[in-house]
Amino acid sequence: MSQVNVTLPDGSSRAVPAGTTVRAVAESISPRLAKAALAGIVDDRLVDLTCPLNADARVRIVTEDSAEALHLYRHSAAHLLAAAVTTLFPEVQCGIGPATDEGFFYDFVVPRPFVPEDLQAIEQKMQELARQDLVYERQTWPRDDAKAFFAGRGEPLKVQLIDEKTEGQTHVSCYTIKDKETFIDFCVGPHVPSTGRLKAFKLLSTSNAYWKGDARNQPMQRVYGTAFFSEKALQAYLTQIEEAKKRDHRKLGRELGLFTFHQWAPGAAFWLDRGTTVYNLLANYMREVLFPAGYTEVKTPLIFNKALWETSGHWQHYRQNMFLVESEDEQMALKAMNCPGHMLVFGSEVRSYRDLPLRLHEQTPLHRNEASGVLSGLTRVRQFSQDDAHCFVAQDQIGEEVERLLGLIQRVYGDFGLTYDAKLSTRPPEFLGEVATWDSAEAQLKAALERAGQTYVVNEGDGAFYGPKIDFDVTDAIGRKWQCAAIQLDYQLPARFALKYVGADNAEHMPVVIHRAIFGSFERFMAILIEHFAGAFPLWFAPVQALVLPIADRHLDYARQVASELKGAGLRTELDERQEKIGYKIREAQLQKVPYMLVVGDREAAEGTVSVRTRTGGDQGAATVAAFIEAARAEVASRGRNVVGAASAGASA
């Protein structure tokens, strides 16, 4: 029998008979590794342990500690879910069942929607199948035989998938659990060796779905679940989910009077009074950060002729996500991004190298034609604004400008108490421009990250079609990650718009554009902040910073005087004049998450003081109005960092 050479991660190699499986390689290394093995990586391809090695190859064994393991594990859990469903409900037709970042789901065509009792029964059946330790077996079938088999079972969606995904192939991959009578699915795999490897999983919810996400297609029922390698990790995630429900920005947005939605304007928020206050705080905060950093704010039109979008390339690549408008036989589109308009601003006059970097900032509304089925609160909308900016730089200014941007990102997220991770997204399969230009752009972004001391990971192939980018994921108070900031290097748009500047050599040169946003969109960032703080915003960012609570009607005049002083000092203050008991007023203020409650009664009116209470710390004692104002303003100015805060005014007065 011929031999093949297997190269292991440590660089060592060994000769094994051709046809040796990945599992056998693991066994030859150590029994412990073989027991822990879930799959293998053969020349960068994830495969089952049963995969034979018929040529020289690099081999790495995948265990629970491997980066690929959790996705593999969850994919297998999705198949276990489908096996349980088809066992309990034989009339159900299977769709697709991928792993996700949070767990897995599977779509089914069902005669009736699943109810909670169904989910309980399905999960119990999954546990039963897991205890039986049934083998996931990969079978290779002739393509026509597979199509005939699934057609005969009344599963036309599987036939459609085979047609679409295996065109030109003579054979297809199918996976069974135990045998095809128990469960079989058309799937490229791979999977864990057996159901017994799945120890900790939980079904979470159901929702309506459509085949391929298109409302014109077959309606389906989606079952969501999650899976982890240990019960401890699963329980920690379930606890996080419960905490997330309490922090849901859609729920808190209603309760705190921040925003609402209406069916006549899907995907567009109605910002209420307090929500508008916070929105404006966010917008003006960004201006305070950017203007000293050399940015200029502009406003460009909301609707452009399609010629603009054809020039930018968005008409070819993004038109399906834009709202189109007809006007006097001209085809127009609502702007979905600011960058093409900023190209026109740059090109509106002769530019010199002395004008660079030119940093244009804009906050006007944008519109994207998102499918109704994916709209979700503030995190997925059709109308939004960004803290958008485009920095026009010379080639030799790229590194310095990106480093400046990294400093801005660090400052902004620090002010909101958010930690973050960076990832460099490289050239996608479909792209504009030359490979050499892309390579140069990616190298410059890497160099800037390293000079700034910013740790990062490489996200291969996830760049925009016009250039590589650095994405930033912030981590909130309960450990969830949200993608927010982005720095995008772009050689393509300046070329498409024929932008030029006159250099020191008196010759024309093309600028490079750096697209960048730090919040991302205001709407999405607001959702993150609401959930991060659970609606209890820090003093500097709270829509109502102080609420004056008179104990009785006779204290109203003094309460109005206190409220007037606080407002005059620039503090966002409200007065509760309702004829309610003071305990009720305090509880209401706490539910509204107001940072400071200032109770005034006979003693306070006589002494010119207020009784300071915080939303979480209770009574802080009496303070003069002036002392409270001074402490509160210091807390606001410092964004609450390294300052004892206004609560200390009561103790020190």
Positions annotated as catalytic residues are 339, 368, 386, 388, 390, 469, 515
Alpha helices, DSSP H, located in 256-397: 273-290, 306-312, 314-317, 339-346
Q: How far is the C-alpha of 494 from the C-alpha of 500, rounded, in Å?
A: 8
Helix (H/G/I), strand (E/B), else coil: 522: helix
Query: CB neighbours of 320 closer than 8 A, spacing ≥ 6?
Result: 369
Q: Which residues of 83-118 are buried (b: 16+ CB within 10 A; e: fewer)?
A: bbbbbebeebbbbbbebeeebbbbbbbbeeebeeeb
- DSSP category for residue 39: E
Which helix or strand (DSSP H or E) is residue 72 part of? helix 69-88
8 Å CB contact between 365 and 383: yes
**What's the CA gap between 488 and 15, in Å, rounded?**
47
Alpha helices in 535-624 (DSSP H): 556-568, 582-591, 602-607
Contact (Cβ atoms closer than 8 angstroms) between residue 175 and residue 184: yes
Q: Is 23 helix (H, G, I), strand (E, B) or coil?
A: helix
CB atoms within 10 A of CB 378: 24
Q: Pairing mode, if any, of strands 20-21 and 508-509? A: unpaired
What pairs with residue 194 in β-bridges?
Answer: 135
The two most distant CA atoms of the chain are separated, in Å, by 102
Task: Tell me, rounded to whole angstroms, the distance of Cα 491 from its chain centroid.
Answer: 27
Question: How far is 274 from 278, CA to CA, in rounded Å?
Answer: 6
Q: Measure the CA–CA gap between 260 and 250, rounded to whole angstroms.
A: 8
Q: Is 423 exposed, middle or buried (0-12, 13-18, 19+ CB in 10 A)?
A: middle
Q: Are 360 and 345 in contact (CB under 8 A)?
A: yes
Reference 485, options 416, 560, 543, 569; nearest CA is 416
Q: Are 297 and 363 in contact (CB under 8 A)?
A: yes
Residue found under tokens 């006979």: 602
d(CA 248, CA 242): 10
Rounded CA gap, 159 and 167, in Å? 12
Q: Would you call 138 exposed, middle or buried from its count of C-beta atoms within 10 A (0-12, 13-18, 19+)?
A: middle
Distance CA 4, CA 500 (A): 58
Q: Look at phi and psi of residue 55 and say left if phi exceeds 0, alpha if psi is from -120 to 50, else beta.
A: beta
